Structure formats: structure tokens, C-alpha cells
Amino acid sequence: MMHRFLLCLLLLVWLVFSGPRAFAESLEDKPNLIIIFTDDQGYGDLSCFGGKHVYTPNIDQMAKEGARLTSFYVAAPLCTPSRAALMTGCYPARIDMDVPSSLEIKMKHIPPGRKMPVCLEGDGRGLNPKELTIAEVAQSAGYKTGMFGKWHLGDQPEFLPTRQGFEEFFGIPYSHDMQPKHPRQKFFHFPPLPVLEGEKVIELKPDADLLTRRITERAVDFIERNKDDPFFLYVAHPLPHGPLAASPQIKKEYAEQLKVNGAGKPGIFPTTIYEIDWSVGEVLKTLKEQGIDENTIVWFTTDNGPAGGKGSAKPLSGKKGSTLEGGQRVPTVIRWPRGIPAGSDSDKLTTAMDILPTFAKLAGAQLPEDLVIDGKDILPTLVEGAQSPHEYFFYAHWGILEAVRWRSWKLRIVDGKEALYDLDKDIGEKKNVAANHPEIVEELKAAMRGFEEEMEASVRPAGMVENPVPLTK
């Protein structure tokens, strides 16, 4: 009996002094995971990231109770490749998703050597159903899975969320501007925007003003119905991608708060952001009401930098479509009361590709031994402040490798022009110091060549459907 008592005492001492990671790994309950993913939101488009033009009290409180990740990257500065990397833990080049879907292509930005897109009413290309998604990882560990919002990884039935590990889906197959009034309608012949319930079209031409609210209501309902089971919830807001929109209730509420405290600026963009913040607040409130707040990971981030003049990437340079920091370093907040130290910041290099392997470990899921992914388990970085597991991070646009980061150094090569930046001293990429550090330039150029060779040798094909048909037909 005394021997057993001493063993229990030693175990208790070990848990107390081994830090949050050991404590988290000792828990029997699997943590829930919620990813809230917005569209075209810049690094400076949260007030907790320095934005003065927006007011985001719920996300600010989330940061106080969790952590800001200030060097968090998405794998591409465009929608589809970025989302493919999030879902699979892979660089887009590895899974043949490094060029946007045909529906997303902008004619004037086609690089040399790329084919002109044909006029389409549906897209035959999408995320290969053979790829392992984070939703399928969750399912393998006994999780309920649901997605609400914008998918944009293929609009044919073979590519929809319900074929990629999600038991429930409500939302739109691609961006909400892809419909007959789109400026490039003459090239693409967009049909009316469909709303899907599972794989069934239930509505056409939804009111954009109500998208955030409807998605939020479905997310809240999913939490309430699955509170007694571990779950993975993916909330993919179509906004603040244009055209900007917000519900009548939020427009009124935001106008009133401007009069009360003066935080934020007037206009439809900050109003749109305010409604996204409201949505986050509704999710967090529901978790507390259902008694599952302590062991639910909520991960808030976005797919790429701001699209135009409304959003802000400050203090970064660049925007959506650019491999400057503002195109791929995105505002990120993570909250997990049971594992993440409250009020902490991490400037360690982390990526959206890391969510899959990190979550797999927490959920007790076994990844296939022969599966090659690029994401890393960043749990020690998040809960213990350990160094980033990434030696390099590679930036690509339109399938063209343009930059690499190593520690604080970033080498960017565009149109044959080389630029080296020390991001610790020059986060805005204003001072090219390549001439002062030729040895670092050569080392990073070699790393880029190695990355390209690896991707070319190991690329896995995207999914393809012959004779694609619009969902509306």
C-alpha cells in the first residue's frame, strides 16, 4: 500500500513540475478543435494586432486568455492553395494545388508558360479525395466533424467537404463574388451562387449580408448538439473578401458602439470585421454555456493577406497575391485554457500546415507511416515556448517559388532580382542587405533549389473530373 502511495505521489509531482505539455498529454479527455478561418484579412486587421481601424473585442479577449502567434504563415497568398495546405498539412506544390482553381484565376496575372483558362461553368479540378484531410484525421480518432462556410477546394460532388471527412456541411462551394455580376463574368460564365446542405443545392443567390450570421448559427448549433462527444469544427467565413457585407443588426450595433467608445473607424470594412468578431464571441460563449470551454482549442486565422485598400497588413509589406510578408504572414490567435498559457505571445515560425499533425497527436490519431506532409507538431512551441520545428519556410505564388525564410533571414527572388531581409530588424522588408551577406544568399538559394527538386520528384496529383457540371444543374 505504501509503495502504491509513493508511486502516486511521484506521478503528481511529475505532473506539477513537468509543465503544461506533460499535463495536457496526461488528460484522458481529447480536446475539441475549432478552426475559424476568414478570407482576405490582413495582419493588421485585428485590434489586438495593432489595427486602429477595426474593433475586435472578442478576439482581443481571446488573445488575453490564450496566445497571439505573430509569425504564423499560410502556405500561399491565395485562397485555394492556402486552404488545401490547411486541410492536408502539405505545401500546395506537393499536392498539385499550387495554382488556383480555374474559377479563381485572374486573366491578367497568368505567368509565362501557364495555359489560358477556358470559359467554365464548373471546375473539374479540386483537392484529390485520396489526400488525407484534417477532418479525416479527426474521424479516425472518433471525432464528430462539421464545416460551415466557404470551401473552395473543388465544386464537383467528388471534391465537396462531405467527401473529404466532414459529416456535416452548410455553405458555399467557392467565393461569394463568383456569380453572374462578377467583373469577369464574360470569361467564366458564372452560374448563380449555390448554397449547399451536404451535397444538395438548397438555395441560389444568398443574401451576402446574412452569410456571417447564418454560418455562425449553424456552428453554434453543431457545438450544442455535439457537446458530449469530441468534435472538430471548421468555420470558414467568406468575408472580408469582397463584396463586403454585414447584417442589419451588426450595422446598427457597430454604429452605436462608435458613438460610445470611438474604437474602430466607420465604414463597411470595419463593420464586416466587427461581425466576424461577434461570431467568434458567439462561439466562445456557447463553449462556456455547454461546459466544454476548458478543453476546446479555438484557432483563429485567415487564408491570406488583405486584397486591396480596405484591409491592412501593417507593419508588413505586401498583400494578397504577394510573397512579401503581408501576403502570407497572417493574424492568428489560439485559445486553449487547459494547455495554452494565458496572455502569451509566440514569434516562433509556425504555419497552417502544422495544425493537422499537432491535432493528430492531441487526438491520439495515427497518421499513415508512408504519408509525407510538411507540417510539424508545434505543441511544444505553443505550450512550452520551444523553438520552431521548421528550419525553412518556402513562399510560392502561382506555383512559382519566390522566397524562403531561415531563422530571421528571408531571401526573395522575383524576376531575377534578389533581396535579403533580416525580419527581426526589418519586418516591413524595406532594406535589402543581400550585398552584405553573400554567403547567406547562396545558402538560401541552395535551399530553394532543393525544395523545388523535392516537390517535382514527389508531387501527388490533384483531383480531376472530366466534363464538370455546375452544381446548379
- What residues act catalytically? 79, 152
Question: What's the CA gap between 222 and 283, in Å, rounded?
Answer: 10
Please name which of 29, 273, 35 lies closest in space to residue 161, comparing C-alpha atoms. 35
Name the burial class of residue 115, with classes exposed (0-12), middle (13-18) and buried (19+) by CB atoms within 10 angstroms of its CB: exposed
**Edge-to-edge strand list for the sheet holding 200-204:** 200-204, 194-197, 168-172, 144-150, 231-236, 32-38, 296-302, 332-335, 67-69, 344-346
Cβ–Cβ < 8 Å for 96, 460: yes
Cβ–Cβ < 8 Å for 319, 397: no
Provide the 3-class DSSP secondary structure of residue 37: strand
Question: What's the CA gap between 95 and 85, in Å, rounded?
Answer: 9
Cell of 353: 500546415
Give me the amino acid identity at 42. G
Q: Each residue of 371-408: b (16+ CB within 10 Å) or e? A: eebbbbbbbbbbbeeeebbbeebbbbbbbbbbbbbbee
At what angle are helices 57-65 and 268-289 packed, to 10 degrees? 50
Provide the 3-class DSSP secondary structure of residue 223: helix
- Read off φ and ψ for residue 375, nearest 5 degrees: -70, 160
Other Cβ atoms less than 10 A from the Cβ of 26: the count is 11
Cβ–Cβ < 8 Å for 174, 101: yes
Question: What's the CA gap between 329 and 351, in Å, rounded?
Answer: 9
At what angle are helices 248-261 and 268-289 packed, to 10 degrees? 100
Please name which of 381, 377, 378, 408 lies closest in space to residue 393, comparing C-alpha atoms. 408
Question: What's the CA gap between 282 and 259, in Å, rounded?
Answer: 23
